[in-house]
Structure 1
Amino acid sequence: MSTGQALWRQVPPWAVDTSLVVLAAIDAWISLQDEGTPSFTWACAALGCAALFLRRRFPLAVVLLTLPMAVLQDVAVAPMAALYTLATSTRNRPLLAGCALLNAAAATVLWPLSDTFTAEDRTWTLIQFVYTLATAFAPVLFGQLVQARHDVARQLVEVEEAREHERALYAQTVLARERAQLAREMHDVVSHQVSLIAVQAGALQVAAKDSQAREGARAIRILSVNTLDELRHMVTLLRASGGKETELTPQPTLADLRQLIANSGIETTLTGELPSGIGTTAQRTVYRTVQEALTNVRKHAPGARAQVSLWQDARHFGVTVTNTAPTRASIALPSDRHGLVGLRERAELLGGTLTAEPTPQGGYKIELRAPTQAA
């Protein structure tokens, strides 16, 4: 907005209306300088000028009230102001055209009417009518232009508001995805480590002969269990926002798989291989699948052995983690039940599937299968 427009908008409406009335009154007074002007003509001029005070509330009525003074006088300010106000307040094009025609006709009528109306008079009357009609359409067109400008400005504001709303929604979506990914990483990494502490503390509690050592191992196990329980609630809250995209860095790859197995505390055999040049997303998915499967073995199948098989065929690749039946009773640990859900989400990102089911021998099997093109 320019400085001039800003200053104009600061002018109060009553000041603008008063200025128009004064200008219209001066215009009418100049045209009424002839001696012997009837009082009726003065009254019509006063009515037409004063009506401009009401032009914002009753624009059509004000246009009609300025017609008598246009018939009796050669004036321009009051009729043009009335037509402009009407044009800015209505979208009825036929009404605007009719008012412009009325104004042109009123300004062209010879008053008082004369019986001696020659052909030359008719020609000049027609010329004057066309000229007056063009003059009357000028404020109408300008008023419509101002109305269109206001419409465009309002639409621009609405578009900007819609864009702000879209940006806010996009930011919320990104935040939701980050929360979901953070929840998945918390479960895959933090839960993995804490559950290992709990399992090792439980084993130490059972094997220790010194009562003080057993009590210390018991305290560690209880704290680990409570930590897992709190972590489960945090993951549940974070996952409430949903989302299946975005990844956090740094992320593990297949190069870290052997280290994961070595640190798992489970007798595990690794066999097979995956396609060469496999992408980082696929590597991460395979790693997290093995990590979650070994975590479940520690939790629910103490003493069991595990087999991690990497495989590929003409159309698919994947990993199968199978464990034997447990050899001793498991220690009760809280389960957030989000591990397999997160793995299925990762598999879906690759266009694959994840299956988890018990084996006939009393163990358990988790298998990730993804199309080769996803590698």
Structure 2
Amino acid sequence: MSRTRELWKRVPAPVVDLALVAAAAVDVWLNLWDDTRLGVSLAAIGCAALAFRRRFPLGVFLLTLPVALTQDVAVAPVVALFTLAERSRNRRLLAVGVALTAVASSTPWPVENLTEAGRTMTLILFVYSLATAAAPVLFGQLVQTRRDLARRLAEIEEVREHERALHAQAVLARERAQLAREMHDVVSHQVSLIAVRAGALQVATNDTDAKEAARTIRSLSVTTLDELRTMVTLLRASGGQATELTPQPTLADLRKLVESSGTHAALKGELAPAVGTPAQRAIYRTVQEALTNVRKHAPGATACIELWQDGDAVGVTVTNTPPTRPSLSLPGSQQGLVGLRERADLLHGTLESGPSEEGGYQVRLRIPLSTD
């Protein structure tokens, strides 16, 4: 079954449309009822219009109604109804389309023959035509739902992969933060004591060799302290990748992130170049996670990313509008915002998130410049 579907997908769309036009023409030729110039012209227009059904589904449907009225055919109106149902989400429009098709198919032509056909027979034909017209609409809606579900399943898998990466990043960040604290509180403290004792020995001793040895120990201790401070800074600032061989994202990469996020997002504001690398990375990750949540929980929504500086603090606010399409209930590890709050805490900042007044959602990160 899947192999047949794959083969069907490989058929070019123009070939399918031309085949449907040919099928509708054959249907008209076999069931030609009104062979007047007007009837044939309306039938030709309705059949030819099927070639444009993908671009103008509503217009093509309206052009097939005269065919259903003047000729005893089924292919053209059924194909037009199916295309309209596959591409439209307006249930009221589809219901009106079914009713119009049923009326056109059951009304005798010319209209003067209505009295000859009888009201009972016309009513029976109307009910039969109504059921016939409802079938392609239901099938078209089924195809539309299946396509939406396939797209959402792909989004779910993408979001899961992203959440797994963020969770692993958050775990690694916590481990590095713990390692940084241990290095700062234990190793740095002990090396500082060695440097102080070596300095004291260098001043107190009169032995030249001992003084030189103390000076060397003190110099090495100071150098080691500087290297330890650098390592602690790197451990606290690292974003959680398995390796630091690749460059970490900064504010310069933010516009590219917004453009490739798959959402309708706008970036506003600027920050001074003096903002430190840890703060830039935290802002980048916050925007990345917020846009992921917009794509996951608010399909069709637009987002606004605003960079700002308030006195001695910098930050970013990501606000999205309410979704325009219903969202599926997606499973999540709930680690995305947790990881962002931990990252903000390491920089002595704050992260706030919650619904906005307009019915959307807002994420706000604030980082003090003095602790950047």
CA distance in 2, matches of 1:116, 1:220: 112
Structure 2 match to 1:173? 170
State how 1:303-314 maps to structure 2 within 5 Å: none
Aligned residues: 241
Structure 2 match to 1:321? none
Whichever residue aligns with residue 92 of structure 2, its letter is: P
Deviations 1:288-320 (A, max 9, x none): xxxxxxxxxxxxxxxxxxxxxxxxxxxxxxxxx
Structure 1 residues 169 and 214 mapped into 2: Cα distance closer, same or farther (>3 Å)?
A: same
Deviations 1:335-374 (A, max 9, x none): xxxxxxxxxx9xxxxxxxxxxxxxxxxxxxxxxxxxxxxx
User: Once the 2 structures are TM-superposed, how far is the Cα of residue 10 of structure 1 from its aligned partner?
Assistant: 2.2
Give the match's secondary structure for 2:115: coil
Structure 2 match to 1:19? 19
Question: Larger Rg: 1 or 2?
Answer: 1
User: Once the 2 structures are TM-superposed, how far is the Cα of residue 204 of structure 1 from its aligned partner?
Assistant: 4.2
**1:47 partnered with 2:45:** yes
User: Once the 2 structures are TM-superposed, how far is the Cα of residue 203 of structure 1 from its aligned partner?
Assistant: 4.7
Deviations 1:262-303 (A, max 9, x none): xxxxxxxxxxxxxxxxxxxxxxxxxxxxxxxxxxxxxxxxxx
Give the match's secondary structure for 1:91: coil
Deviations 1:221-259 (A, max 9, x none): 11111111221222133234699xxxxxxxxxxxxxxxx
State the TM-score, normalized to the length of structure 1. 0.58
Structure 1 match to 2:59? 61
Contact 1:28–1:45 (CA under 8 A) maintained in structure 2:
yes
User: Once the 2 structures are TM-superposed, how far is the Cα of residue 196 of structure 1 from its aligned partner?
Assistant: 4.5
Contact 2:180–2:235 (CA under 8 A) maintained in structure 1:
yes
CA distance in 1, matches of 2:104, 2:239: 71
**1:99 partnered with 2:94:** no
CA distance in 2, matches of 1:125, 1:155: 45
Structure 1 residues 138 and 163 mapped into 2: Cα distance closer, same or farther (>3 Å)?
A: same
CA distance in 2, matches of 1:161, 1:229: 42
Q: 1:187 aligns with which of 184, 188, 213?
A: 184
Contact 2:60–2:80 (CA under 8 A) maintained in structure 1:
yes
Contact 2:50–2:80 (CA under 8 A) maintained in structure 1:
yes
Q: 1:158 aligns with which of 148, 155, 172?
A: 155
Give the match's secondary structure for 2:119: helix
Deviations 1:135-186 (A, max 9, x none): 0010011111111222222332333333333223222221221111111122
User: Once the 2 structures are TM-superposed, how far is the Cα of residue 93 of structure 1 from its aligned partner?
Assistant: 1.5
Structure 1 residues 223 and 242 mapped into 2: Cα distance closer, same or farther (>3 Å)?
A: same
Structure 2 match to 1:219? 216
Contact 1:180–1:241 (CA under 8 A) maintained in structure 2:
no
CA distance in 2, matches of 1:197, 1:116: 110
18-27 or 227-236, which deviates more? 227-236
User: Once the 2 structures are TM-superposed, how far is the Cα of residue 134 of structure 1 from its aligned partner?
Assistant: 0.4
CA distance in 2, matches of 1:126, 1:218: 110
CA distance in 1, matches of 2:10, 2:193: 72
Q: 2:75 aligns with which of 74, 77, 85?
A: 77
Structure 1 residues 116 and 154 mapped into 2: Cα distance closer, same or farther (>3 Å)?
A: closer
CA distance in 1, matches of 2:183, 2:13: 63
43-52 or 171-180, which deviates more? 171-180
Structure 1 match to 2:7? 7
User: Once the 2 structures are TM-superposed, how far is the Cα of residue 68 of structure 1 from its aligned partner?
Assistant: 1.3
Give the match's secondary structure for 1:111: coil
Whichever residue aligns with residue 9 of structure 1, its letter is: K
**1:109 partnered with 2:103:** no
CA distance in 2, matches of 1:242, 1:123: 76
Contact 1:205–1:214 (CA under 8 A) maintained in structure 2:
yes
Whichever residue aligns with residue 138 of structure 1, its letter is: A
State how 1:239-250 maps to structure 2 within 5 Å: 239-240=236-237
Structure 2 match to 1:28? 28
CA distance in 1, matches of 2:97, 2:239: 61
CA distance in 2, matches of 1:8, 1:233: 60
Contact 1:177–1:242 (CA under 8 A) maintained in structure 2:
no
CA distance in 2, matches of 1:62, 1:97: 17
Structure 1 residues 242 and 195 mapped into 2: Cα distance closer, same or farther (>3 Å)?
A: farther
Structure 1: runs of 5+ lacking an equivalent: 244-344, 346-375
Structure 1 residues 242 and 157 mapped into 2: Cα distance closer, same or farther (>3 Å)?
A: closer
